[in-house]
């Protein structure tokens, strides 16, 4: 399915980790900027959109087999995130907020888009908790959700910290050195985001395989044991 049938969870995570390493190193060497290849419209953004879209598709396939609403909600949620990543919806909401209320951008209000990403994560965690009975049927998924949310949280924190120079200046870092500190942290933000997406994808692929295996296993059995017995 989607070329992932024979790809292990480890392959997904390691591949994205290697891509992150390459993009950061090439950015440093070629442009003295580790975030060069993560900017909007660059390869980093395209990789993120692909990962999010694959997560949506995998969960939709799970929904088609399980018919439980949680898998459809997860699919729709990640489809929205892929759309958001491609069209910068949360960044646009940040600008619309300042424009609608007629307020000047400050260090605090400029972090609205960062807060929105955190809210996305909280909504996702809340939905998973609401339907935890279904999620807990697949113990393997928990091994991926916990580190996935940890990387997502790290991404949100790095994004908020590097939004402007305020926190660095408050910490006593001279303005001439702020950029040297911000760039590696911004790179960590982008790396954390892609790693979170890769881990989530790996986890849901594992669930899909289990669902498919269970379906294939039960498909070969009669619906009722009595159906296989000769009538006396």
Which tens digits make up the pLDDT trace of 139-164? Answer: 999 999 999 999 999 998 998 888 88
Could you give the CA distance from residue 125 to residue 186 in angstroms, rounded to a whole number? 25
pTM strictly above 0.85: no
**What is the tens place of the pLDDT at every residue in 164-189?**
888 888 889 998 899 899 999 999 99
Model pLDDT, residue 40 = 83
pLDDT digits (tens, 9 = 90+) for 73-117: 999 999 999 998 887 765 555 555 556 556 666 555 556 666 777
């Amino acid at each position: 399915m989607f070329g992932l049938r024979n790809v292990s969870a480890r392959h997904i995570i390691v591949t994205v980790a290697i891509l992150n390493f390459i993009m950061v190193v090439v950015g440093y060497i070629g442009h003295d900027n580790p975030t060069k290849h993560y900017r909007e419209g660059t390869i980093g953004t395209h990789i993120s959109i692909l990962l999010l879209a694959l997560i949506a598709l995998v969960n939709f396939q799970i929904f088609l087999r399980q018919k439980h609403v949680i898998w459809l909600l997860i699919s729709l949620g990640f489809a929205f995130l892929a759309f958001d990543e491609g069209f910068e919806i949360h960044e646009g909401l940040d600008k619309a907020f300042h424009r609608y209320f007629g307020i000047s951008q400050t260090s605090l209000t400029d972090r609205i888009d960062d807060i929105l990403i955190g809210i996305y994560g909280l909504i996702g965690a809340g939905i998973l908790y609401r339907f935890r009975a279904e999620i807990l049927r697949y113990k393997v998924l928990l091994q991926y959700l916990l580190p996935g949310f940890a990387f997502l949280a790290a991404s949100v924190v790095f994004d908020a910290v590097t939004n402007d120079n305020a926190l660095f200046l408050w910490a006593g870092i001279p303005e001439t050195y702020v950029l040297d500190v911000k760039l590696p942290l911004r790179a960590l933000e982008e790396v954390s985001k892609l790693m979170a997406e890769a881990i989530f994808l790996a986890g849901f692929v594992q669930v899909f395989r289990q669902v498919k295996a269970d379906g294939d296993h039960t498909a070969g059995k009669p619906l009722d044991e009595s159906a296989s017995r000769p009538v006396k």
